Amino acid sequence: MITTGIEKLDELLGGGIRGGLITDIYGPSGSGKTQLLLQICVNSLAHGGMILYQDATGSFRPERLIEFLKAKGMDQKLLDKMIIGRITNTAEQLSYVDKILEIENLTLVVIDNVTDLFSFEYSKESNSLAKHVAFMEYMHKLAYVMIKRQIPVVVTNITRKSDDEERESLDRSISMFTHQKIKLEKIGQKYTAQVFPSFDGKKMTNYIITQTGLEDSP
């Protein structure tokens, strides 16, 4: 079990990020998805974890991770326990699933952003069906490997406007393979996190974004 760094969110998750499950963190830009992903990585490293971090957008910033480590008083050498893969196309993204089986002592896999390259390569409206089929084949393989290794997989995803409604990218296809979802969004002046399904009677909690990451709202 890996904690998120947000106590009330962990309660909704039943203690944190679980092994053998795919957890999907999604929300609009600026809602803190990548920061939450980095917090989960830091908390995994704190317990001797080995992480495969797949960056499909080119947004990985090691200096931000170093800030998190410093804030927790952790040794920067722990970054040696992270394997960073810069993914530039869907073929590479698919091939990285095999690496999950190859890397020994792996305790966490993260993918930031899981649908971005599929949306880019199949951007034409006429390719919509092919996009969903290709993405579902990828997610099926990811789910199979994750179950075989029994390690947690955490992915991030964005939301897009559809018929005046904010919806998760490839929502129907990704929902078939993810076991737990964390929806981050800003409502008015508050940041909220919703968990589906929730292990608590409540499904929502508030959080704030600070220099040291995401924290419970006071």
Domain residue ranges in the chain: 7-212
Among 181, 173, 144, CA closest to 17: 181
Q: For residues 49 and 51, give the distance between their C-alpha atoms in angstroms, rounded to a whole number.
A: 6
Residue 92, pLDDT above cutoff 80 = yes
Q: How far apart are CA 87 and CA 113, in angstroms?
A: 10
CB 183, CB 193: distance < 8 Å? yes
Give 49's pLDDT tier (boundaries 50, 70, 90).
confident
User: Which of the four pLDDT bands, split at 50, 70 and 90, describes residue 200?
Assistant: low
Q: Are 194 and 183 spatial neighbours (Cβ–Cβ below 8 Å)?
A: yes
CB 197 within 8 A of CB 20: no
pTM above 0.75, yes or no: yes
What is the CATH topology of the domain spanning 7-212?
Rossmann fold (3.40.50)
- Report how far residue 215's alpha carbon sits from residue 218's, in angstroms, rounded to the nearest whole number: 9
CB 195 within 8 A of CB 21: no
Confidence check: pLDDT of 94 > 90: yes
pLDDT score, position 173 = 95
Question: Would you tell me how many other CB atoms lie within 10 Å of the CB of residue 93?
Answer: 21
Say yes or no to pLDDT of 208 above 70. Answer: yes
Return d(Cα 151, Cα 112) in angstroms, integer. Answer: 17
Token couple for 190: 């508050």
Percent of the chain with pLDDT over 70: 99
